[in-house]
Chains A and B, each alone.
Chain A
Amino acid sequence: MPWATYSAAIRQALEEEMRRDPSVFVLGEDVGVMGGVFGVTEGLLAHFGAQRVLDTPISENGIVGAALGAAMVGMRPVVEIMFGDFLGCAGDQIINQVAKARYMSGGKARVSMVIRVTTGAPGAAAAQHSQSPEAWFLNVPGLKIAAPATPYDAKGLLKTAIRGEDPVIFFEHKRLYATKGELPDEEVTVPFGVARVARSGDDLTIVAISGMLPLALEAAEVLSTEGISCEVIDPRTLVPLDNSSIIRSVRKTGRVLIAYEGHQRGGVGAELAALIAEEALEYLDAPVKRVAARNVPIPYAPEMERFVLPSTQDIITAARALVLS
């Protein structure tokens, strides 16, 4: 099977959907001439022209709102927001307008739009360019949240998001852009709300979100040499969430560790831990464990940043403690 990078997979999804449907267009800061700060939209301007690939001013709230208005009259905009941290600038439009437009109108508004945005710490980017803000939006009904961790899922989920009926915040992890994975030449779509078992195991479930997946798989490999068998689950979308796959795995292993790069407090792991407590408490042989960023802003200096962010070693250490408990 052919291989592609995560970045190229996303670009392919955009190209294919733009070719398939003239109502799909891309807008964002530096997405055209520059091809995106991370190079994801490279070549799209040359291919589709300035009517389909719009360089915008630095106006996150304005462009998200404009995308919403365009969606309301039948377009399928794909907005790129350069850094997840900047979603705060578009807070009103995302939280009060985009998320609620369908509901407030009694179900009439179709808001088919995707906000592509980067997440995670790329290294020494400090507190306003390193956050993993997925959990900010878990608390806002009306949004869907995708967090792919492989090229295949990035392409397949983005195509599903663009064709869908609802607004999606599509989190692309910066450290994953250059990673490679299998990607077939034929059509790839991935349904929302279906988790992927990335590795099967019996002793411990690791639920790994976005950029934590490669770290979790690496940890599982190390742990296997110690006789600890890990099942690694990637939910792929956080809303909708494939509760049943997670619960099924936890019931099998009796131990669960949730690995996510966002801040630990009030994070994705808190929601998953609550879900597991509600639906599988009696199956647990050990407390639920969260491996996440410490509850401080992401610092700049590499020594401090490494200390704050969750690592492969953190997963290994936590997993050993869980299994030996």
Chain B
Amino acid sequence: MGFDVELGLEWYRQMVLIRQFELRAIEERKKGLIPGFIHPYIGQEACAVGACAALAPDDVITSTHRGHGHLIAKGGDVRRMMAELAGRQTGYCGGKGGSLHMTDFELGILGANGIVAGGIPMAVGAALAFQLRGDRSSQGGLRVALAFFGDGATNQGAFHEALNLAGLWRLPVVFFCENNLYGEGTPQHKQAPITRLSQRAASYAMPGVTVDGNDVEAVYQATCQAVQRARAGDGPTFIEGLTYRYRGHYEGDPQVYRSRDEVAQWEARDPIPRWRQALLAQGVLPATLDDVERHVAALLEEAVALARSSPPPRPEDALEGVYGDTHDGRVF
């Protein structure tokens, strides 16, 4: 394979951080720290990490209801994320957004989203702005927008309108579809008349590629190619990452729609142990990987501590932040 070991270690750290963040969030939710629902990303970590590794800090992403992994991979601060899940003042949105709406404009995270295809037109719009202004990336070429979404989103109109615009205007955007085989509780074969969702790209005159979404390096390579095309002004790419979520659509989902066997088959392809093996094969010492895990555990302790110790918002804070200009309160 011959990847850069430092880079490989960073990917490992991010994947472990995403998984442990979510496991911890699920635990804290049971204990009552987190009031809202969570759509776990567990199992899909290689998609977020591989894709974001191909982006520059000044590129932007849009995310989904299953967005914790995307945020962490784009550099999101897990302390502010955990505080937001807890609905605290110190959270990313001061408690106004929760899991579904975390944003960090400084990191180019334009937002998680409660509507499955809702963020895709936004990514196209950001890419349009980059093209109109000729925004240059710190890596050379155009700045790029990347939209994450699931297989279910490809059946919403916003997806098709957005891809049509991007193909038409050859915008610097990457469409990253995480195909985890289920749209909520309905399997993909009952939601779409095709199996390979990357075929959809052909209608919009862009390349469509399918990669093993549980292989962080394969995801990285595919996304690098797409980003290069975009930076060069050659337009968008559609990437389908084949992956699987190990937990329910939401935490607490009884998962009547799939068998334990099926889940077990996919667990055997877990992207994290797989990448650990790849690193060991490259000569990375087990102790180094254990260090990474210890570091992640310590960071999550800090995150939970911040969430616990931060004050809740004042009820009347709910009235702030609706508008930039309230015209002396006449907007209410």
Contacts and interface: CB of A to CB of B under 8 A. Distances in A.
A92 B125 contact: no
A227 interface: no
B123 A62 contact: no
A75 B132 contact: yes
B4 to A, nearest CB: 30
Interface in B302-332: 320-328, 330-331
A57 interface: yes
A67 B125 contact: yes
A72 to B, nearest CB: 5
B177 to A, nearest CB: 17
Please classify how large the interface on chain A is, using the bins under 10, 10 to 19, 20 to 34, 35 or more. Answer: 35 or more
Contacts of A107: 94, 96, 320-321
Interface stretch (B25-33, B113-121, B289-297): B113-121
Interface in B96-154: 96-97, 100-101, 103, 105, 110-111, 113-115, 118, 120-130, 132-133, 145
Contact of A193 (B129, B324, B327): B327
Nearest to A240: B330
Interface in A90-143: 92-93, 96-97, 101-110, 112, 141-142
Given A61-B121, A69-B121, A109 B330 contact: no
A65 B93 contact: no
Contacts of B62: 69
B165 interface: yes
B322 A141 contact: yes
A197 interface: no
B129 A69 contact: yes
Given A70-B129, A104-B97, A165-B323, A65 B105 contact: no
Interface in A13-66: 25, 51-52, 56-57, 59, 61-66
A309 interface: no
Nearest to A59: B161
Contacts of A101: 111
Nearest to B162: A62
A68 B103 CA distance: 15
A92 B118 CA distance: 8
Contacts of B101: 104-105
B278 to A, nearest CB: 36
Contact of B121 (A64, A108, A191): A64
Interface in B147-190: 157-158, 161-162, 164-165, 168
A74 interface: yes
Contacts of B327: 191-193, 240
B331 A75 contact: no
A165 B324 CA distance: 5
Please indicate which of the listed interface residues B95, B114, B322 has the most CB atoms of chain A within 10 Å of its own CB. B322
Nearest to B114: A96
B165 A63 contact: yes
B121 A66 contact: yes
B126 A93 contact: no
Contacts of B91: 106
A174 interface: no
A97 B118 contact: yes
A77 B122 CA distance: 13
Contacts of B120: 65
B125 A106 contact: no
Contacts of A192: 327, 330
A201 to B, nearest CB: 24
B126 A62 contact: no
Nearest to A243: B330
B92 interface: yes
B158 A93 contact: yes
Contacts of A62: 121, 124, 158, 161-162, 164-165
Nearest to A141: B322
Given A69-B126, A142-B322, A25 B330 contact: no
A66 B165 contact: yes
Interface in B195-243: none
A190 to B, nearest CB: 12
A21 to B, nearest CB: 13
B47 interface: no
B53 interface: no
A106 B123 contact: no
Contacts of B164: 57, 59, 62
Contacts of A92: 115, 118, 158
A248 to B, nearest CB: 14
B197 to A, nearest CB: 19
Given A70-B129, A92-B118, A97-B115, A106 B323 contact: no
Contacts of A183: none
Interface string A149-183: 00000000000000011100000000000000000
Contacts of A217: none
A233 interface: no
B323 A144 contact: yes
Q: Top 8 A-B pairs ranked by shortest CB distance? A: A65-B121, A69-B125, A165-B324, A62-B161, A107-B321, A106-B93, A240-B330, A66-B125
Interface of B: 60, 62, 91-97, 100-101, 103, 105, 110-111, 113-115, 118, 120-130, 132-133, 145, 157-158, 161-162, 164-165, 168, 320-328, 330-331
26 contacts: A59-B161, A59-B165, A62-B165, A64-B121, A65-B121, A69-B127, A70-B125, A72-B105, A72-B126, A73-B60, A73-B125, A73-B129, A104-B93, A104-B96, A104-B97, A105-B92, A105-B101, A112-B324, A165-B324, A166-B324, A192-B327, A192-B330, A193-B330, A239-B331, A240-B331, A243-B330
